[in-house]
Homo-oligomer: A and B are copies of this chain.
Amino acid sequence: MIVLYDIPSTAPGVAWSPNVWKTRYSLNYKGILYRTEWVEYPDIEATCKRIGAPYTEKREDGTPLYTLPAIHDPSTGVSLADSVLIAEYLDATYPDTPKLLPPGSRTIQHAFLAAYRLMLPALWQFALPGTLPILNPPSEAYFRRTKFGPMIPNVAPTGDLRQEQWAKLKDDFGLLAGWLDKGEADGPYILGDSASFLDFAVAGYIIWLRIIWGEGSMEWSDIKRWHNGRWDAFLKRLEKYETVV
């Protein structure tokens, strides 16, 4: 049984990390058996080294940065980090399961993933400070030390700046809504009739917002109203792949 490594929280359901959600959605969609192992931030590096999952990035000082999601697949002996690489691995290793990155769209899927991250510049100033209250103490301290800086303070904007930046966030999502509108005639999912990794990549960020603020929060209630309710509907369409095991 595959082991999925994820970062715990105090939120209902425990899972919250947008990047790990991409892999959880992927595994659930494929119907591959797996279990979750919860790893606090300070233990990620040692865990990845122990299972043999390579680092995914380098810090500015050149030292390797180990990140989750990571998986260990005992049936092949493979350990791997990075949600896109994991998606490619699962498609190749389990060819009888639904494709996450169907042939003929791989180039633009990678471009979409790059574009999408750039397209939500206003997200981080809200979502990163919003994550602090749901983390357990060791992860909270680590997150506070590593995720903030001059560009992203560890408290979300308040007052007029909040209004202005919240409107900016809505506009960023509006750009994505425009792309989704272009494909609407092809089917309910980004690639048309079937879900794919791209839907999970988008959903990973939206579910993160729902989790950090909570279903009944003012923030989530507002987002639910944006763009004719499409973001809540987006998650609802993928709800069957939301199970945390």
Minimum distance in angstroms from A218 CB to a CB of chain B: 30
Bound complex: CA A233 to CA B240 (Å): 45
| Residues in B neighbouring A118, C-beta threshold 8 A | 115, 118
- A193-208 vs B, CB cutoff 8 Å, 1 = contact: the mask equals 1000010000000000
Number of interface residues of A (CB under 8 A): 29
Does A36 have its Cβ within 8 Å of any Cβ on chain B?
Answer: no
- A36-64 vs B, CB cutoff 8 Å, 1 = contact: the mask equals 00000000000000000000000000000
Partner of A115 from the list B115, B178, B187, B192 (CB cut-off 8 Å) is B115
Does A161 have its Cβ within 8 Å of any Cβ on chain B?
Answer: no
Minimum distance in angstroms from A206 CB to a CB of chain B: 16
Looking at A14-22, A98-106, A136-144, the stretch in contact with chain B turns out to be A98-106
Minimum distance in angstroms from A145 CB to a CB of chain B: 30
**Cβ of A107 and Cβ of B182 under 8 Å apart?**
yes
**Cβ of A191 and Cβ of B105 under 8 Å apart?**
yes
Minimum distance in angstroms from A187 CB to a CB of chain B: 7
Does A33 have its Cβ within 8 Å of any Cβ on chain B?
Answer: no
**Cβ of B112 and Cβ of A183 under 8 Å apart?**
no
| Residues in B neighbouring A175, C-beta threshold 8 A | 114
| Residues in B neighbouring A107, C-beta threshold 8 A | 112, 179-180, 182-183, 186, 190-191
**Cβ of A182 and Cβ of B104 under 8 Å apart?**
no
**Cβ of B178 and Cβ of A108 under 8 Å apart?**
no
Bound complex: CA A114 to CA B117 (Å): 12
**Cβ of A108 and Cβ of B106 under 8 Å apart?**
no
The 6 closest A-B pairs by CB, nearest first: A107-B183, A115-B115, A104-B192, A106-B183, A111-B112, A110-B179
- 7 more A-B contacts (CB under 8 A) besides A106-B182, A108-B190, A110-B178? A107-B179, A108-B111, A108-B112, A110-B182, A111-B179, A112-B112, A115-B118
Pairs A–B under 8 Å by Cβ, sample size 19: A103-B186, A103-B192, A104-B192, A104-B193, A105-B105, A105-B192, A106-B182, A106-B183, A106-B185, A107-B182, A108-B108, A108-B190, A108-B191, A110-B179, A111-B111, A111-B179, A114-B119, A115-B115, A118-B118
